[in-house]
Copies of this chain bind each other. A is one copy, B any other.
Amino acid sequence: MGIENVAQYLKSHGIKPSYQRVRVFEYLITNRNHPTVDTVYKALADEIPTLSKTTVYNTLKLFAEKNIVLVINIEDNEIRYDADTSVHGHFKCLKCNKVYDFQFDEENLNIKSIEGFDFHQTHVYIKGICKNCKMNY
**Interface residue ranges, A against B (CB under 8 Å):** 71, 73-76, 79, 89, 91, 93-94, 100-105, 108-131, 134
A105 touches B110 (CB 8 A): yes
A130 vs B116: C-alpha distance when bound (angstroms): 7
Q: Which residue of B lies closest to A130 (CB)?
A: B117
B126 touches A119 (CB 8 A): yes
Chain A contact residues, majority secondary structure: strand
Number of copies: 2
A114 vs B126: C-alpha distance when bound (angstroms): 11
Q: Which residues of B contact A134 (CB under 8 A)?
A: 116-118
A104 vs B89: C-alpha distance when bound (angstroms): 15
A23 nearest CB across to chain B (Å) = 23
B111 touches A121 (CB 8 A): no
For the complex of A and B, list the 8 residue pairs with the smallest distance between their C-beta atoms, beginning with the closest: A108-B108, A116-B131, A120-B128, A118-B129, A123-B125, A105-B110, A73-B73, A118-B128
A127 vs B79: C-alpha distance when bound (angstroms): 17
Q: Which residue of B lies closest to A121 (CB)?
A: B127
A100 touches B128 (CB 8 A): no
A125 vs B111: C-alpha distance when bound (angstroms): 12
Q: Which residues of B contact A128 (CB under 8 A)?
A: 117-121
A105 vs B71: C-alpha distance when bound (angstroms): 25
B117 touches A129 (CB 8 A): yes
